[in-house]
Structures are given as C-alpha cells and as structure tokens.
C-alpha cells in the first residue's frame, strides 16, 4: 500500500534536524570548547578576509604554464638562457630550473638593493626554494612558472635550499647566491655581457 503523506520540504528537514540537535545532551565543558573552537575559526577567517580586503594578500592570480619535459627546448629555460640577465628595460631577471637534486645554475651573483624577478620551473617533481634570512620562499610546481619579485638589501653569501621533500637526495639539493654591492655587480655584468652564471 502506498503512503499518501507528502515529502518533507528542505526547510522542514532543517527544522527537524535543529530540533533533534537541541535534544542532544552536551556537557557544559564540551560546549565551552565548541564555542572556543568556533571563535578561533571565526578569528582566522576574519584575519584572512581583512588581509584580502585591506592588505591585498591574495592567492596568485597569474597562472603561467610550461611543459616540464621540454624545458631544454623552450625559448626561455634552455640551458644557455638560465641565470641572471638584464632585459631591455633594465629589469634584472633570474631564471632557474629545479630538478632532482640540484638548482641550475649552481651559483649566481645578483646585485643588492635591486628588485629581482625570479622565475622558477621544475623539470620533474614538486620542489620548493627557500633562501634563509630573506623573504624568498616559494613552491615550484611542475608544469607552472613560479615568479617572485624581491630585493636583497644586504650583500653576502646566501644558501638556496629545497624545502619540499622531493626524493632520497632532497637534503643534498641546494645551491648558493652571492649578493654583491650594486656598483660591483654592474661591473661584473658589463664584463660578462649582462649575465653572470657559473
Ligand atoms: Cu627537495
């Protein structure tokens, strides 16, 4: 025999759910912790919203893809194009390839106090790059170009290390950067035709 009772609407279902939740006994201490957890979540969501609205902190909107398997044949990341170069407008561009287990080129020199545009690509798996004591830190996802613009104010020798586990040789994956005074670097760049890679 078929029942003639109409199907409950979504609103009725929600009201029924709320009523049954109200009948569940929750210990007062548990209630305090639930409230505390919800407040923490609210605080984090509030901070993210404020940062997005007033400080312009957003996920990257520019997505640039590249064929990881054909980097050596690409216009931009062929072996002889890697390292530091100065474009027509005088911007310093650094192109680096990460692969198990090295960053190429192994060593580069960049000028201090100058905006540097780093363009990173991976030839195989997920890598990360971190330069301690600076704000350079980004993931290098295969198939994408990771672009970061930063300035290193203080001359010195900086290690450049992989911070995403990429395999058994991960802890040997590092390179280094010499940050040299702007006037000394310009001289170096002029001698070597606008780039200085090793
Ligand atoms: Cu790694």
User: What's the pLDDT at 45?
Assistant: 97
**CA 119 and chain centroid, separation:** 12
pLDDT of 12 > 60? The answer is: yes
What is the mean predicted confidence (pLDDT) over 125-154? Answer: 91
Distance 17 CA to ligand 1 centre (A): 49
Please compute the mean of the pLDDT values over residues 77-104 and round it to a whole number: 90
Ligand 1 centre from 100 Cα, in Å? 7
> For residue 173, how far is its CA from the centre of ligand 1 (angstroms)?
6
C-alpha to C-alpha distance for 158 and 59, rounded to whole angstroms: 27
Nearest to 171 by CA among 184, 156, 179, 159: 159
Residue 193 has pLDDT above 60, yes or no: no
Residue 90 burial by CB count (10 A; 0-12/13-18/19+): exposed, middle or buried? exposed
Residue 94 is predicted with a pLDDT of 93
Total-model pTM: 0.68
**For residue 99, how far is its CA from the centre of ligand 1 (angstroms)?**
9
Centre of ligand 1 to C-alpha 39, Å, is: 37
- Angstrom CA distances, 29 to 34, 36, 43, 137, stand at 9, 11, 21, 42
Q: Both tokens of residue 15?
A: 């009201």
User: Is the confidence at residue 124, as pLDDT, over 70?
Assistant: yes
Sign, CA torsion 179/183/186/188: negative
Asked if residue 195 has pLDDT above 60, the reply is no
Per the prediction, the chain carries an average pLDDT of: 86
Domain 68-191 matching CATH 3.30.310.50: the answer reads: no
Cβ neighbors of 66 (< 8 A, separation 6 or more) are 74, 77, 121, 143, 144, 145
Residue-level pLDDT at 3: 55
Instruction: Output the CA–CA distances (angstroms, integers) from residue 5 to 2, 8, 59, 99, in the order listed.
Output: 9, 9, 50, 65
State yes or no: pLDDT of 134 exceeds 90.
no
Domain boundaries, the chain: 10-54, 68-191
Q: Coil, strand, or helix at residue 104?
A: strand
Q: What is the pLDDT of residue 189?
A: 56
**For residue range 159-178, what is the model confidence (pLDDT) as tens digits?**
999 999 999 999 999 888 99
**pLDDT of 191 over the 50 cut:** no
Judged by DSSP in three states, 99 sits in strand
pLDDT in tens, 50-76: 988 988 777 666 788 888 888 888 888
Q: Is the pLDDT of residue 80 over 80?
A: yes
Give me the pLDDT at residue 32, please: 95
Stretch 133-144: mean pLDDT: 90
| Residue 126 alpha carbon to ligand 1 centre in Å | 8
CA atoms within 13 A on the CB side of 146: 21
pLDDT score recorded for residue 44: 97
**Would you state the pLDDT for residue 192?**
47
Q: How many CB atoms are closer than 10 A to CB 122?
A: 25
């Amino acid at each position: 025999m078929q029942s003639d009772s109409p199907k409950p609407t979504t609103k009725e279902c929600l009201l029924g759910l709320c009523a049954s939740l109200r009948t569940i006994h929750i210990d007062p201490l548990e209630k305090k912790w639930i409230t505390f957890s919800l407040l923490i979540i609210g605080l984090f969501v509030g901070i993210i919203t404020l940062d997005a609205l007033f400080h312009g902190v957003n996920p990257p909107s520019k997505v640039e893809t590249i064929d990881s398997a054909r980097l050596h044949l690409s216009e931009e990341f062929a072996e002889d194009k890697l390292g530091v170069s100065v474009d027509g407008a005088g911007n310093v561009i650094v192109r680096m390839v990460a692969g198990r287990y090295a960053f190429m080129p192994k060593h580069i020199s960049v000028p201090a106090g100058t905006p540097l545009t780093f363009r990173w690509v991976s030839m195989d798996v997920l890598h990360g790059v971190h330069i301690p004591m600076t704000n350079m830190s980004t993931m290098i996802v295969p198939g994408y170009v990771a672009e970061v613009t930063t300035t290193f104010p203080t001359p010195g020798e900086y290690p450049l290390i992989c911070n995403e586990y990429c395999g058994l040789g991960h802890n040997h994956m590092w390179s280094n950067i010499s940050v040299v005074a702007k006037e000394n670097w310009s001289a170096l760049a002029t001698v070597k035709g606008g780039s200085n890679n090793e």
